[in-house]
Amino acid sequence: MYLHNIFTRTHSLCKCHFVRKISAQITERKFDNRKYQYDLLVIGGGSGGLACAKETALLGRKVAVLDYVDPSARGTTWGLGGTCVNVGCIPKKLYHQAALLGKAIKDSKSYGWNFDESKIIHDWGTLKDAILGHVRSLNWGHRVQLKQKNVDYFNAKGSFITRNEVEILHKTGKKENFSAENIVIAVGGRPKYPDIPGALEYGITSDDVFSLEKPPGKTLVVGGSYVALECAGFLTGLGFDTTVMVRSICLRGFDQQMATLIANHMANDGTKFLHGCIPLKIEKAADLLTVKWESKDKQLHEDTFNTVLFAIGREAYTKNLGLEKIGVEFHPDSRKIVGQNEQTSVPNIYAIGDVLLGKPELTPVAIKAGRLLSHRLFGGSTQEMDYENVATTVFTPLEYGCVGLSEEEAIHRFGDNQIEVYHAFYKPLEFSLPQKDASQCYIKAIVSKTNKKIVGLHFLGPSAGEVIQGYSTALRCGFTLEHLQQTVGIHPTCAEEIVKLNITKASGLDPTVTGC
């Protein structure tokens, strides 16, 4: 019996070894017969590129990801995960939360908490190190996930040789060529600098602000973008003297009534604004930066700052990809890629995320588009990405969440007499005891008169992102004013004020909410 068992086990082991050997030979032969090394090659290791790569690997295809971060003008670099993880959404939200906590400490006195305010000191280094530590854990997590899903990862640059071949440049300087049946461009974008003396030499961008070794001190933020206002908001909240220089309008592309309310709230909160101003020059003397600018009345001004942060927009990081060589069409100014359903002008080359012309520059958009693209290429799906009615939130001190059309867009699309705007000013209960200013807490729903569908919803107030997420689902499902007004609110919350909307702008009645 003992000898029989030994023989049986030995036979089984040999059989398993034989099967594995045959299987390996079959796999090897299959690989040898491949026309290309990879089914999919992704250039760019941001949220969209990683999502597309991992999804494709789960579908059983051979995938590689190339990701390399060129240092910023200030020498800042980071790890795998793209803008959102490293120098965007994640650190931004954590700095924003730090600023909110500082205000909450002060508000807590109204709720009976007693403490010596002179002993409350914020330490920039502690916050910076904690956030960078969290970001590095996310970098590592992405690398582990790629390994687990058998995605080949290369910390290297890629540029096109042909529509199916890419030259890889490693950190060591070594070059090699990879081939792929399909290639996805997901390199995202980088902040722009103005073409003025001293900007590149002395200015920073959002690529740098989250990892500054020293506190930024007195700061000038140049730009009216959401990045500009978010950075200015948390810098003010952390106690730094902060000024925003705006050339024209704040939050271009967003609802302008909401943008004005946001800027007013920030001004009331301590952020200074220079409207209609253009920077001309930055000079450095010792540790101070002298900024010279021109105001809209053509007068010249100057002031000194410790830090100048540019947030004047971003451009697609495609200049070194060799797109011209293979005929991929792109916009000459923004260098964003022209595409239809993520497919470029070259049929086997695709683009997702911030690099794609005319699409929302939002992480969840890139992730969803990447996954859907993977399933269309390799999973037999026909589902396309729907870029309409995507919700977003601007994390200014008073948060702004929106989904659907702005009032300006709705008027342009339907006509001024074909929409009705329901609105309300409200006071969050949390603002009551500290007697905080709630004059900018505002909600509006834009309604089509034709079918009473809500085509745009805008919320300015605490936790706007959490509030607008659920309503975005309802809007995508085609909910109407009747659906909204028949919904029972959760009391006492800020979100319930949305379902209580009943006053129109056209009526001229006071939309201020009073009592319960």
Catalytic positions, please? 491
Number of neighbours of residue 334 by Cβ within 10 angstroms: 17
341: amino acid identity, one letter: N
Residue with tokens 């007693």: 114
The 3 state secondary structure assigned to 12-27 is HHHHHHHHHHHHHHHH
Helix axes 226-237, 256-269, angle to 10 degrees: 20
Residues in the chain: 516
CA pair distance 150, 375, nearest whole angstrom: 18
Angle at 140 between CA 134 and CA 142, to 5 degrees: 105
Query: What is the pairing mode between strands 38-43 and 63-66?
Result: parallel
Beginning with the edge strand found earlier in the chain, give each strand of the sheet holding 392-394 in spatial order. 392-394, 400-404, 454-460, 442-448, 419-425
- Sorted by sequence, the CB contacts under 8 Å of residue 93 that are 6+ apart come out as 395
Q: For 126, phi and psi rounded to 5 degrees?
A: -65, -45
Q: Which amino acid is at 348?
A: N
Rg (Cα) of the chain, in Å, rounded? 27
Distance between CA atoms of residues 164 and 349, nearest Å: 8
Give yes or no for a contact between 169 and 26, defined as CB atoms under 8 angstroms apart: no
The alpha carbon of 83 is separated from its chain's Cα centroid by a whole number of angstroms, namely 7
**What's the CA dihedral at 370, 375, 381, 383 to 10 degrees?**
-10
**Residue 359 near residue 336 (C-beta atoms within 8 A):** no
Q: Which tokens sit at 175?
A: 């070059």
226-237 and 89-107 helices, crossing angle to 10°: 40
Strands 314-316 and 307-310 turn out to be unpaired
CB 391, CB 402: distance < 8 Å: yes
3-state secondary structure (DSSP) of residue 273: strand
Nearest to 337 by CA among 120, 44, 12, 37: 44
What are residue 274's phi and psi, to 5 degrees?
-115, 100
